[in-house]
Amino acid sequence: MPKVRFLPLDVEVDVPEGTVILDAALDNNIKIDHNCGGNCACSTCHVIVEQGFDSLNEMSEDEEDMLDEAEGLTDHSRLACQCKVTEDLVVLIPEKSSEWDDDDTF
For residue 99, tell me if it sits in a domain: no
pLDDT (0 to 100) of residue 60: 96
pTM of the model: 0.87
Q: Can you give the CATH number for the domain in which 19 is found?
A: 3.10.20.30
User: What percent of the chain is modeled with pLDDT above 90?
Assistant: 87
Tell me the backbone φ, ψ of residue 52, rounded to 5 degrees.
Answer: 95, 10
Asked whether residue 59 is domain-assigned, the answer is: yes
Q: Is residue 102 part of a domain?
A: no
Residue 73's pLDDT is what?
Answer: 94
Q: Are strands 3-7 and 11-14 parallel, antiparallel or unpaired?
A: antiparallel
**Which are the contacts of 36, defined by CB distance < 8 A and separation ≥ 6?**
42, 44, 81
Residue 105 forms part of a structural domain: no
Q: Say if residue 103's pLDDT is above 60.
A: no
8 Å CB contact between 2 and 86: yes
Q: Is residue 54 part of a domain?
A: yes
Number of domain units in the chain = 1
Whether 14 is covered by a domain: the verdict is yes
Q: Does the pLDDT of residue 44 top 70, yes or no? A: yes
Whole-number pLDDT of residue 100? 47
Give the domain range for residue 54: 3-92
